Every structure is written in structure tokens, then in C-alpha cells.
Amino acid sequence: MFEVRYSEKAKKVLFNLKGGNRKYAALILDKIDFCLGEHLFDYVAQCDKKILKGSKEGVCRLHIQRKYTAIYTIEGESPHRYAQIHKIMGFEEAHQKYDQLL
């Protein structure tokens, strides 16, 4: 298992989702925990992860149910690597801003 850390911006988005739709927020957290907490370096078909080309080195994205995208980097030194979630945003917004992220 790998640790997943959230920036204040990412926490704010999740907090706002919990206020309006707790069930959906729980699905997002479950997906992040599964894809980044359990399978950070593995290929898993249901985890749509990708390193973003054209952005700063090491910036990755995780699509979450084709509605949200988590922008993250892999931090730390082995064996203490972890996923740092920087932003969680709408799917369409993320696609428009890939080259500007972080």
C-alpha cells in the first residue's frame, strides 16, 4: 500500500462534493485509494492513469468515472514513495488545462 496525500485544493473539492453528494465523493475516494494507494506503479485496466506530456516532469492524471480527473505526482524516495494529489477537477476542465497544470 502507498500513501495518498491531498493538497488543500483537492481536499476542498472533495469536501464540497461530500456536502452535495456523499455517495459520489466516497466513490471518488475509493477509486483514488484503489488506483494510487494499491496500484501506484501497476497497470490495472480500470485505472485510467497517464503521465502528462508537455507538463512539468512527473505530472500524472487519473480519470475518475469520466467525470473527474485527479492531477498528481509521485513523491518521495523508495521505499517511501507516495502519491501527492494536487488538484481534482472536472474531466472537461482538466483536458483543456493539461499543458498548464502545476
Q: Write the pLDDT tens digit of every residue in 34-73.
A: 999 999 999 999 999 998 876 667 899 999 988 889 999 9
Q: Name the grid cell of 83.
A: 502519491
Q: Is the dihedral of CA 2, 83, 27, 47 positive or negative?
A: negative
Edge-to-edge strands, sheet with 82-90: 3-6, 82-90, 68-75, 59-64, 48-51
Q: Write the pLDDT tens digit of every residue in 13-33.
A: 888 876 667 788 888 999 999
Q: How far, in Å, CA of 43 to CA of 47, rounded?
A: 8
User: What global pTM score does this model have?
Assistant: 0.86
CATH number, position 25: 3.30.2310.20
Q: Structural domain of residue 54, as residue ranges?
A: 3-100
Amino acid at 23: K
What is the count of structural domains for the chain?
1
Q: Name the grid cell of 9.
A: 485544493
